[in-house]
Amino acid sequence: MSIFDLFWIFLIFSTMFPAMQRRLLEEARARLIRQIERRRGTRLITMIHRQETIGFFGLPLSRYIDIEDSEQILRAIRLTPPDMPIDLILHTPGGLVLAAEQIAQALVRHPSRVTVFIPHYAMSGGTLIALAADEIVMDENAVLGPVDPQLGQYPAASILKVVETKPLANIEDHTLILADIARKAMEQVRSTVVELLTANGMDAERAAVIAEALSSGRWTHDYPISVREAQAMGLPVRVGLPEEIYHLMEMFPQATPRRPSVEYIPVPYRHEGPAPRSR
């Protein structure tokens, strides 16, 4: 065998090996997802975004909640029987409000129990989705975040602050237009939070207090809401992630090319294992 032949063998192997590694990792994730589902008697969905992913030419690529995510999760929910509980693992910095609201509304309408697991963080739109759950299970060091809307690079609450503190004659038309949009956006998010919380049995008064805290711009948008703070607010949060969740997270390493951020077994389910818990 010549050096030329060895070169081509090495080139083919180098090209195929990463694809083989990805395939083996996908199969390992699917097996663990199925194992957790059988143990808990649930449909398990993951939405995991890695901000560190490096794309072509060494440029950083960040993943956020987008319409593709909402389409995939809504499809997973449609393939789940009404009396089967849903588990959702969230690891996300947030993203598109439309997509997050679609996911949250679909989860809160699911007739059986919904549990959200947060190993590290679920900020902004991720928190909005978590509010749709009957129970939020977090690592003791994991965090949620405020859901106050952002208009471009500015928080909606800060735009309104400008209008409140400056004379109207000194404010540009563009800022006034942004303020009108900001007011509507904040009210829409606030009402969505109230709707999600009351749909899961929280009284309207407490839901309104939580919605005000999360959507009013009280904190910066990246403020980390700890487990203790979330519990003090009255959110259904507890500590105690199953060990399998940590193992599954390890199977979502930083990698290129881009992998799907939402994964589940794409077939309709019949009950296996433990009987589902009712709401």
**pLDDT for residue 22:** 74
Which is more confidently placed, 165 or 62? 165
Integer Cα distance of 13 and 156 in angstroms:
52
Integer Cα distance of 30 and 122 in angstroms:
23
Q: Which amino acid makes up residue 69?
A: D
Element (H, E) at 88: strand 86-91
Integer Cα distance of 71 and 215 in angstroms:
25
Has residue 82 got a pLDDT over 60?
Answer: yes
Q: How confident is the model at residue 53 (pLDDT cuts 50, 70, 90)?
A: very low
Has residue 12 got a pLDDT over 80?
Answer: no
Each as own residue / partner, the long-range contacts of residues 188-196 (CB below 8 Å, 24 or more positions apart, any chain) are: 188/149, 189/97, 189/128, 189/147, 189/148, 189/149, 189/215, 190/215, 190/216, 192/101, 192/104, 192/128, 193/128, 193/131, 193/147, 195/108, 196/104, 196/105, 196/108, 196/128, 196/131, 196/132
Has residue 21 got a pLDDT over 90?
Answer: no
Integer Cα distance of 72 and 198 in angstroms:
26
Q: Is 151 helix (H, G, I), strand (E, B) or coil?
A: strand
In this structure, the dihedral spanned by the alpha carbons of residues 110, 50, 222 and 105, taken in order and rounded to 10 degrees, is -10
**pLDDT for residue 55:** 44
Q: Which two tokens stand for residue 140?
A: 């003791």
Burial 1-36 (b: 16+ CB within 10 A, else e): eeeeeeeeeeeeeeeeeeeeeeeeeeeebeebbeeb
Q: Check: CB of residue 162 under 8 Å from CB of residue 179.
A: yes
Has residue 209 got a pLDDT over 90?
Answer: yes
Strand partners, 138: 118, 239
Cα dist from 90 to 46, 121, 139, whole Å: 6, 7, 12
Q: Give 2-44 as a DSSP string.
A: -HHHHHHHHHHHHHHHHHHHHHHHHHHHHHHHHHHHHHHTSEE
**pLDDT for residue 47:** 96
Q: Check: CB of residue 157 under 8 Å from CB of residue 186.
A: yes
Q: How confident is the model at residue 255 (pLDDT cuts 50, 70, 90)?
A: low
Has residue 59 got a pLDDT over 70?
Answer: no
Q: What is the DSSP letter of 169?
A: G
Q: Are strands 121-122 and 86-91 parallel, antiparallel or unpaired?
A: unpaired
Has residue 120 got a pLDDT over 60?
Answer: yes
Cis, peptide link before residue 257, omega less than 30° from 0: yes
Q: Check: CB of residue 96 under 8 Å from CB of residue 66.
A: yes
Q: What is the DSSP letter of 215?
A: H
**pLDDT for residue 186:** 96
